[in-house]
A and B are shown apart, each in its own frame.
Chain A
């Protein structure tokens, strides 16, 4: 397991909340930031804040180096083939919407099918609903098996020559299920479809190699991987991106502008209209350096151990329901019988323990699980078994408290 020196690099974790030491178990919503990322943002604003790609002056050059340097870091981190395939965007949601708009709406028509799973986050459902409405294409949902996974047999059955897009999360933000992206990509390609992957819950926690997975589009957000909010990445295969039109038009993304027509810059800049997210990219670059220093394999191993430990401990609580498969990423979604998850989360918060409660932006999945809401504890590299112990003790106390007041 990772040791205490990792945790010590996150200043926010060293504080009391409601007179208890903070136990932060909501990293699937957003992760905390290490000092090095905070410093990188400060240094940019204090020493070389400037617009990129245009200024002749020194600060402009430094800012451009910082921004484009971050792109190089992302390229290596996910093993993209070229920086042309790494587009900075506001986050996973914007990235998926861009693919839906620029690829989905343009290439699909009536009779075509889009295949999704029932465990998707809203941001990987609604963009496709909109594509279906505009183009006349049909949505098809892969069913969930009893344990919260999908079956490749179902994928083989549902994905046909009619399928043009398969959209799927790599890791479910509710169940923690790790989907077999490589195998699904192969089936999609055999049927002439492209695969779009929501990587918001995977890239922060495991090493992801987009070429090895052979995915066509892959989206993720910086703020869930120790970076700042407001920036994320759309990875796309170059030959696909080349044949897609930009979604946003304006400064930064043009080659020549005439009165009645214009041409675009080459990849990746044609998709980055307007002054880009410079500080965000620099912060993301610093986050990648930090994660690489710790090591993605070590992080994955650490979270695996925490998830296993949490499952073992939590299963022993009477009247708890835990959702999702045994083999999972570092999060546990659960409900205490007879206590609404909001009440659980408020009670835990009064003990300084931060968990998420609600539908986790996955209403169709909640319906599938036959609940209206759940509570979720999610782990990251700075969490320890002690945090899990605090959570379990907090849950026992919560049960007692609500048992008493009832």
Chain B
């Protein structure tokens, strides 16, 4: 695990709370405003997940798909993604930074060049939705050579052998998808999520972050009681799409993240 991500999880553990992982799509609604939005969210998060816009985001729901379309329409390039990551890094030396996206953009760039640029921009890990552990041969070496964690997903449909596979091939943390569906759908049953997360934690030392469908402070608090991290994506992206103007979006992001974080604290302390 990257030293910085290890410190993030250690800090959160000592503070008796789960890490708050916030997602935004890079370049949404355009590269300039995206920087301010990312910085606003990053200030309240332990880990920031920066989405690399793609023309065909197959695992994403309408909210994040629309963010990708806005970013691409505004002329967001992969260089902007690195530039934005670097801006977040400069402002937040200790935050965890994860790039999330689909295989084709880094594949076409070349994973070696991609990993080199990501490392330079201060990125800690990479989550490519459509490269399962079995297809890791095309990227694992390049990511490792540039000290980037390979974040792998697990889902409710993953049987034990896939859990072992992901824990063996992945690093940084396990991203547990709370539901069999796309981003932004309704969160799955909390007891089932808790049982599965406990099972993964019994197999691996790696921290487990839970995402997909977590929108409310109450949900974040409930998941944060047992998970090492709570990922919130569509709900943050919605703050951009639903507000009247950029200034309001920046303020709404900050306020929403702060509220989620506060809720996660209280629940842990009360428990």
Q: Do A and B bind each other?
A: no
Interfacial residues, chain A to chain B (CB-CB below 8 A): none
